[in-house]
Structure 1
Amino acid sequence: MPEFDTDVLVVGGGGAGLTASMLLSRLGVAHLLVSALPATSALPKAHLLNQRTMEIFAELGIAETVYRRGTPPEQMRYSGWYAGLAGPAGDYGRRFGLIESWGCGGLSADWAVASPQRQTNLPQIRLEPILKSRAEELAPGRVCFHHEVTAFTQDADGVTATVLDRGAGRPYQVRARYLLACDGGRTVGRQLGIAMEGARDLARIATVHLSADLSAWARDPEVLIRWLSLPHTGGAATMVPMGPDRWGPDSEEWVVHLNYATDDPRGLDDEQVIADLRAALGLPDHPLTVHLITRWSIEGVVADRFRDGRVFLLGDAAHRHPPTGGLGLNSAIQDAANLAWKLAAVLYGHAAERLLDTYEPERKPVTARNVRRSVDNALNHIVTAQAAGIVPGAGPEANWRQLRRLWSGLPEDAGPARAVRRAIAAQSMEFNEHNVEYGYTYSSAAVLPDGTSEPGNPDPVRLYQPCARPGHPLPHAWLDDDHGRRLPVHDLLRPGRFLLVAGENGQDWCEAAAELATAWPLDAVRVGHLDGDLLDPRSTWTRHRGHGPEGAVLVRPDRFVAWRAQEATDATARLSQALRSLLGH
C-alpha cells in the first residue's frame, strides 16, 4: 500500500476543513486534506458570515470574492415578519414586524467601529467552491475530494490513517503527526467514542431549495429573512433568498423551511412537502422548480472533548447548532483559526506541545455558548408565533381574526399587538448578538492575565465593547503611516507571528522585540496619536489599549490579546518570560 507522510491530516472538506487547509498553507505547514464527498456541499445550509469570519477570509485573500458573490449589504439590513406570502385576500403578505439585522447592512456605527470587515451572506453551496479553489491554489495536489478515511490508529508520535481513493478504487496510508477531524462527526469522533451532549430532536424541518420568481410578493428589497405566519394553514415557514446573481425580491433561487411535528409523517414524503410548500406560499399554480428537499432536526450538542491524543475535533464534529443566529459555520471557521497557528508553532519548534492543550479550554466554552444562544434564538421564535395567536387546527377564520388584531388599531387589540412587538424586539438576541459573534474571549495558558477586571457590560449578548485586555479580541483601529496611507491595526499581523504594539514612548519594547525576534516569531510597532511608527489619528487605539505611552500589548497570531504591560521596566526579560509562558516552555 502506498504511503504518504505529512505533518497534518485534515479529514473533511467543509468550512472547517478547507479553512484549516488554507491557514496551514499560509503558515507553511505540510498537510493533506481528504474528503469522502466527491465535491463540495450540494446543500444550501449555512449562509451568514460574521465579521470575525470575514477577517479570517481577508487574511486568506478571499474576502473580496465572497463579498462580490454575496448579498449586497443594502439587501440584508432587516428581518421581517409577514402574514403569509400570497393569497386571495388583501392581508396576505402583510408585514407586521421588522428588525435591524447584522449591523443593518453597514448602517450601525457599533458594527462599523468593531472591525474593518462587514458581515455578509453567501450560501454554503456557493461559499465552499470559493474555499476549495483557494485551498487548492495554496496546496496543489494536497486537497483530495472523494478520498475517504476508512480506518486510523494513533500512537505517541502520530496518526496512521488508511484512505480509500474512491475514484481510482485504491487505498493508501497516510502518516501524520496530527489529525484534524472536520468530518461532521461521521467517522473520526465516533471511532474515538466521543459523545455529543445536549438537546436533540427539538423540531423537524423540511428545507426546499427552489427556483421561482417571487418578486410580485416578496416586495421588501431590504429584508433578507422572511418569517411567515400562516393563518390559512395554522403553521409557519421561513424564506431566504439564495441569489446567485440577483438578491432581494429578484432572487432567482430561494430556500423555504417548513416546520413539522416530530411525529408528523407528512414531512417524509416529497410530494406532500411540495404540496405543503405551495400551500404555505399561497401559490398553488405558480411556476417553480424544486432542486432539492432535505430533512433535518433542530439540535444543540457539544462534544464531551475536543481533543483525543493527536486528534482534534473542529466544526460540526465538535458542536452542532440550530441555524438561528448563523453561528454554526462561523464557529467552525473560527475553530480552525484558533488551532492552526498553534500547530505551526509546535511543528516549527517555537512552542512546546502543551500549547495544543489550550485549544479545548478556549474553543469549547465559546462554542458551547454559541450552541445555547442558537437554541434560545430558535425557542424565541416559538414565543413570537404564540404571541401572534396562530394555532394549528384553529382554522383560517380564527387565525386571521387573531392576526388582524396586530394592525387593527382598536383599543381592545393594543395588548396583543404590543406583545408581538416586544417578542419581535427580543429577537435582537439573534439578529444583533454582536458580542456573541465578535466579543467572545479566551481564558487558558495561552493568555496571561494582567490583574485587571473584566469590563462591565450591561448586555453581554448584544453589546460588544472593544478593549485590549488579555483574552479579548484585538480592537479595531485605523492607523496612518508616514506616507498618509490608512490601514487597520489588524493588518499589522503576519501569519504565525506575534505582534507587540507599544505606546508612543515604547522604544524599549521595540528594542526588546528586535532582540528576541531572532528566536521567536515576533514583530513590533509603536503606535500613538502624535508619535510612533504609525499614528492613531482618531485616538481609537489609545482609547482601547488600556496602558499609557510606555506600555505595550502582545497580540497572538489569531488576533487575540495575549499579554499587556503598563511600563517598559526590564522590557527584554519580561517580554521573553511572557513568550516562554504563552508558548508552553
Structure 2
Amino acid sequence: MTASVKSPRAALPPLGEDEWPEAVEVVIMGGGPVGMSCAILLAQRGIDVLLLERRDFVFRFPRAHLLNPRTMEAFHDMGVAEDIYAATPTHDRWRKAVWYTTATGPGRFDGLKIGEVPAWGGGPDAERYRASSPRAFANMPQLRLDPLIHRHAVAAAPGRIRAKQEAVDIRQDADSATVVIRDAVTDDVREVRARYVIAADGGRDSAALLGVELEGPRDMREVVNYHVSLDLSAWSEPDALLGHFLHPAGGARRRGTIQALGPTHYDRDSEEWLVSVAGWMVEGDPHDEAALFDSIRRMLGLGEDHAITMHSMTRWTYNGLVAKRFRAGHVFLAGDAAHKHPPTGGLGLNSGIQDAQNLCWKLAAVLDGQAPDALLDSYQAERRPIVAWYTAHSLENANRHPPIAAALGFGEDEAEGFRNLEVFVSDTPEGEAMRARVATEVAHNAHDYSQLGVEAGFHYEAGALVPDGTPVPGDPSDPTDFQATSRPGHHLPHVWLQSRTAQDGPAPSSHDLVARVGLTLLTSTSAAARWQEAIDLIGGALPVTVVAIDDADEAWRAARQIGDDGALLVRPDRKVAWRAAEMPADPSMVLDDALAVILRGGRAPAADPAEPFLKRIRAAASVLVQ
C-alpha cells in the first residue's frame, strides 16, 4: 500500500561532448568514488547533474580497498555491488590480518609469524557480520573499483561526467551557485549555474574556494606507498590479504605493511602488491629507485637481487582532520574534502560513500519539491559527528601496533630485541608467558579488524529523525559490539523475511522493502490499513510507502522492537527516522508531527556532538608512535 507518489523522472538524456548547459540542478566537483557515487545516485532519480574532474579518468594507484557491509548496501542501490562481488576473492581465507618479522629471509628469525586476527567478517566473525546486513564485506582495490564506478556513472549520466575540467571559482546568491570552470586542455573558461554543488574533490580546489577550515592534527606520520609486482610465493603465510611487519631493527615502530592486490590471487601468490613502508625506513635519496627498493627488500627480508617492478609510488602523511562546516551555502563537502584520517580501520572510502548516500536522497527530495531546503542542514548534523568518531578511531587503531612490539621486548637496543625473540620461540615458561602477552596485544587489534560496531552500528543522535529517549543498546564504547535495533537514528535491523518466500520467490531482507523515494512505513498486516488511512489524511509532497509484514513472521517480530500495531518510519538510507511502539490514539496527528520534525532536519543538539570525538583525535595524535 502506498500514498500517492509523484511520477518518477525520466532517465537523463545524453549530453553532447561539446554541449555545455547554462544551468543544472547539481554540479559535482571531483571524479573519485564519492563524486561518481553522487552522480549515480542523483542521476538514478532523474536529477540533472554535471561532474567535473580536474584530471583524467586514468586510475593509477590502488588506494583504498575494503568495502564494508553498509557501503555495499549503497553500492547495491546503485547497481554496482554485483560487479564488485564478481571481482572480489571467491574464498574467505583472505579475511585475516597477520604480523611477521619479515616475509622471508636467511636469518633465524626471518619469516617468523608473530600473530594473526580474523578480519572483515571472516572466521569467528562470519555469523555476526551475516546477521548485520544482507550484503557481505568485499575487497576491491580502488585501482579497479574506480573504473567500475566510472562506467556506471557514465551510463547513468551520459555526457555529464567531464574530465580535465577545473572549478576555479564559486559564486553564490540566494538561489544558486555559479561554478566557473577552466578547461585544462583548451584553457577555455565557462560558467554553469547550479541549485547545489557537491565538493568531493578531496579539498584540492574546494578548500580554497569555500574557505572551510578543517580542524585537527596534520602530517603526523610519513608513509611511502609502492604499487609493485614481485614474487612472494616463498612467504610461509598462505592466505592473508594484509601483513604487518615488526622487527628488532625497527624497535617499537612498525616497519610497514603489504596488501595483496590480485587481480587473480589475493594471497602470497598475488601478482601485484601495495607495499607501505614507514618513511624512516627509506635510507639515502628518497627519489632514487634503488633506495626505495632497498626499503622494500629490508622490510620483507628479500635478497638484493630479488626482482621488483615498480608501477607507481606515492608519499602521504597521517592526518586527523574534520571540516568545521559540511555546508557552505549551496555547497556541500563530502568524502576527503570534509574529513581526512589514516587508513587504519579502512574507514575513509567507506565513510565517503556513506556521505554520498546520506546527502543524495535529501538533495533529490528537496529538488523534487518533496522537502524544504532545511532538510539539507541535517547532513552536517548527522555526518560530522560520525566522521569525527571514525577519525578518532582510526588514529587509535594506528597506535595498536607498538604494544605488540613492546610485548616482544623490542626497543632501542636491536640486539636485546633479538635476545627477546629467543625467549619468544623457546619452549620455556618465560617463552609461554611472552607468547601470551603478545597474543593479548595482537587480539586488541580486533578493534581495527572486527569493528562491526563501527562499520554497521554507526547511528545518528540528531538530524532528520525523531529521538524516542531510549538508550543506545549494548556498549557504545566497544567498537566490536554491534546490537541491531530499531531505535531512531540507527540502521533498520536486517532479517530474512520467510513469510514472503512462498508467493514472492526467495526470502527478501527487511532492507529490500525500503523504498528508494520518500519514506517507508513498516508495520504488520493487521495494522497496515489504519496506518494507510493516517497517511492519506496527512497528504503532503513527500511520499510515504506503507509496507506490511506478516504478523506471523517470527524473525521480524523478534527484531522490530515494536508491538503488532506499531510502526517504523524508515529513510531511503535505511536509517529509522521515527518509531511508534503501538498505534497512537490519533495516528495521523502523531505521524504528521513526526514528519514535520524530519523534514525540517530535526532538532538542533544543545552541544556540538562531534566535540567528544575531536578530543579523542587530539589525544590519539599526541601519543602516535612515528
For this structure pair, what is the TM-score category when the shorter chain's length is used for normalisation? Answer: over 0.9
Quick check: 1:528–1:549 contact (8 Å CA) kept in 2? no
In the alignment, is the contact (CA less than 8 A) between 2:281 and 2:295 conserved in 1?
no
Cα pair 1:3 1:173 within 8 Å, conserved: no
State whether structure 2 residue 77 is matched by structure 1 residue 62: no
Structure 1, 164-173 or 8-17: larger mean CA deviation: 164-173
Q: 1:300 to 1:267 in 2, by over 3 A?
A: farther
* 2:517 counterpart residue number: 496
Deviates more, 1:69-78 or 1:271-280: 69-78
2:293 is matched with which residue? 274
Residues 365 and 518, structure 2, Cα contact 8 Å, conserved in 1:
no
Contact 2:511 2:574 in 1 (8 A): yes
- Report how far residue 167 of structure 1 moved: 3.5
Q: 2: CA distance between counterparts of 1:140 and 1:458? A: 44
Which residues of 2 match residues 455-494 of structure 1 at below 5 A?
455-457=473-475, 460-479=478-497, 480-481=499-500, 482-483=502-503, 484-494=505-515
Distance 1:105 1:353 in 2: 46
User: Within 2, Cα distance between the matches of 1:246 and 1:516?
Assistant: 56
Distance 1:310 1:259 in 2: 40
Given that residues 181 and 189 in structure 1 are in contact (C-alpha distance below 8 angstroms), is that contact kept between their aligned partners in structure 2?
A: no
2: CA distance, partners of 1:84 / 1:364:
39
Partner of 1:198: 216
Give deviations 1:215-242, integer Å, cap 9, x for gaps. 2215322x11111123456562211000
Of the three residues 232, 245, 248, the one matched with 1:228 is 245
Question: 175, 189, 193: which is aligned to 1:157?
Answer: 175
1:65 aligns to what SS in structure 2? Answer: helix
More strand by share: 1
Task: Measure, in 2, the Cα distance between the counterparts of 1:238 and 1:403.
Answer: 20
Question: In the superposition, relative to structure 1, how do residues 519 and 302 fare at CA in structure 2: closer, same or farther (>3 Å)?
Answer: closer
Gaps of 5+ in 1: 531-535
Tell me if 1:527 matches 2:549. Answer: yes
Cα deviation per residue 1:225-276 (whole Å; 9 max; x = unaligned)?
Answer: 1111234565622110001122212210001111124998754544312111
**Which residue in 2 is equivalent to 1:237?**
256
Question: What amino acid is the match of 2:264?
Answer: D
Instruction: Give the aligned residue type for 1:377.
Output: N
- In structure 2, C-alpha distance between the alignment counterparts of 1:286 and 1:150, rounded to whole Å: 47
- Please list the CA deviations of residues 420-440 of structure 1 after superposition, one character each: whole Å capped at 9, or x if unmatched: 211111111100111111111
Q: How does 1:18-33 map to 2 (within 5 A)?
A: 18-33=36-51
AA of the residue aligned to 1:527 = I
Does 1:582 find its partner at 2:582? no
Contact 2:125 2:450 in 1 (8 A): no
Question: In the aligned structure 2, how far is the partner of 1:398 from the partner of 1:380?
Answer: 22
Contact 2:255–2:281 (CA<8 Å) still a contact in 1?
A: no
- CA-CA distance at 1:202 after TM superposition: 1.8
> Structure 1 residue runs of 4+, over 6 Å off?
262-265
1:13 to 24, 31, 34: 31
- Indicate which of 145, 149, 152 corresponds to 1:134: 152
Instruction: Indicate if the aligned counterparts of 1:503 and 1:550 stay in contact, CA closer than 8 A.
Output: yes
Q: In structure 1, which of residues 495, 498, 509 is the aligned counterpart of residue 531 of structure 2?
A: 509
| Residue 168 (structure 1) shift | 4.1
Match among 110, 120, 130 for residue 102 of structure 1: 120
Tell me the equivalent position of 1:550.
565
What is the correspondence of 1:346-357 to structure 2 with a 5 Å cutoff? 346-357=366-377
Say if 2:196 is the partner of 1:178: yes
Corresponding residue of 1:533: none
Which residue is 1:327 aligned to?
Answer: 347
Amino acid at match of 1:506: A
Aligned-pair RMSD on alpha carbons? 2.2
3-state DSSP class of the match of 2:43?
helix
- Specify the code of the residue in structure 1 equivalent to 2:246: S
SS class of match (2:255): strand
- Could you tell which deviates more after superposition, 468-477 or 409-418? 409-418
Q: 1:318 to 1:518 in 2, by over 3 A?
A: closer
Q: CA deviation at 1:512?
A: 2.9
Gaps of 5+ in 2: 1-18, 602-626
Mean Cα displacement is larger for which, 548-557 or 404-413?
A: 404-413
- Alignment correspondent of 1:365: 385
Give the aligned partner of residue 390 of structure 1: 410
User: Residue type of the partner of 2:232?
Assistant: L
Q: Aligned residues: percent identity?
A: 38
1:231 and 1:401 map into 2 onto residues whose CA distance is 9
Q: What TM-score comes out, normalization by structure 1 length?
A: 0.93
Residues 416/477 of structure 1: CA separation in 2 closer, same or farther (3 Å cut): same
Rounded to whole Å, the distance in 1 between the matches of 2:42 and 2:450 is: 32
Which residue pairs with 1:301 in the alignment? 321
CA distance in 1, matches of 2:91, 2:457: 22
* Contact residue 40 and residue 128 of structure 1 kept, 8 A: no
The number of aligned residues is 575
CA distance in 1, matches of 2:389, 2:142: 23
**1:164: how far off?**
1.9
| Change beyond 3 A, Cα 1:421–1:524 | same
What is aligned with 1:247? 266
Q: How big is the shift at 1:75? A: 3.2
* Alpha-carbon distance in structure 1 between the residues aligned to 2:147 and 2:539: 38
Q: Is the 8 A contact 1:199 1:300 kept in 2?
A: yes
Distance in structure 2 (CA, Å) of the matches to 1:279 and 1:447:
53
The answer to whether residue 111 in structure 2 is matched with residue 93 in structure 1 is yes
State the 1:212 CA deviation. 1.5
The range that moved more, 520-529 or 79-88, is 520-529
Deviation at 1:66, TM superposition (A): 0.6
Q: Partners in 1 of 2:332 and 2:284 — Cα distance?
A: 38
Q: CA deviation at 1:456?
A: 3.7
* Cross-structure match for 2:61: 43
* Residue aligned with 1:249, SS: coil
Q: CA deviation at 1:71?
A: 2.9
Structure 1 match to 2:574: 559
TM-score, reference length from structure 2: 0.88
Q: CA deviation at 1:403?
A: 2.5
Q: Give the CA deviation at 1:175.
A: 0.3
Contact 1:2 1:173 in 2 (8 A): no
1:66 counterpart letter in structure 2? I
Contact between 2:256 and 2:299, CA under 8 Å: does it hold in 1? Answer: yes
